[in-house]
């Protein structure tokens, strides 16, 4: 089945080649699937300290910390649940009058942990991580009754 050609290289006969390819394809098919246990969603939230409301720099810094953490949670929700986009266009006499796109994210993120928090100059940065192992539990999560939720005063951080 193996022969030498005129250049001294081995030539494999066709039946041997077909057999080897078939057996290797069968063995690859039975290999276990690669697991993604180490995969983790990572989200980063940013907030500037100067843009925050507050009487002192310390209060502005605390508000920037909260804002960057909320922004990171929003980024995680976008990765896990996706973003609902709605678009609206207005045309008059074959000319575009207005064009708008709105994005909306709604989701419950549980099991996320803060990986890092730090600031660079005026910017406060929070990095969150969500391990894939916690995702099966998200499908069972439901929002509580609105009456059971503790209500806090609304605050715009940026």
Number of Cβ within 10 Å of residue 131's Cβ equals: 14
Predicted local confidence at residue 28, as pLDDT: 47
DSSP strand pairing (113-120 vs 95-104)? unpaired
Domain boundaries, the chain: 1-31, 40-140
Task: Tell whether the torsion through CA atoms of 46, 48, 51 and 54 is positive or negative.
Answer: positive
Residue 60 is encoded by which pair of tokens? 């502005």
Q: What pTM did the predictor assign?
A: 0.58
Question: Average pLDDT of 31-40?
Answer: 53
What average pLDDT does the structure give for the chain?
75
Separation CA 51–CA 62 (nearest Å): 12
Predicted local confidence at residue 67, as pLDDT: 93
């Amino acid at each position: 089945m193996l022969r030498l050609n005129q250049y001294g290289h081995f030539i494999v006969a066709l039946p041997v080649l077909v057999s080897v390819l078939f057996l290797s394809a069968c063995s690859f098919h039975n290999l276990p699937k690669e697991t993604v246990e180490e995969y983790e969603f990572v989200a980063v939230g940013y907030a500037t300290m100067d843009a925050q409301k507050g009487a002192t720099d310390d209060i502005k810094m605390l508000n920037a910390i909260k804002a960057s953490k909320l922004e990171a949670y929003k980024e995680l929700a976008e990765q896990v649940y996706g973003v609902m986009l709605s678009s609206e266009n207005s045309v008059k006499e074959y000319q575009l009058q207005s064009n708008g796109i709105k994005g909306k994210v709604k989701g419950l993120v549980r099991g996320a942990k803060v990986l890092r928090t730090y600031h660079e100059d005026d910017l406060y940065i929070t990095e969150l991580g969500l391990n894939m192992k916690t995702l099966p539990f998200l499908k069972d999560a439901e929002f509580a009754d609105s009456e059971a939720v503790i209500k806090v005063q609304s605050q715009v951080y940026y």
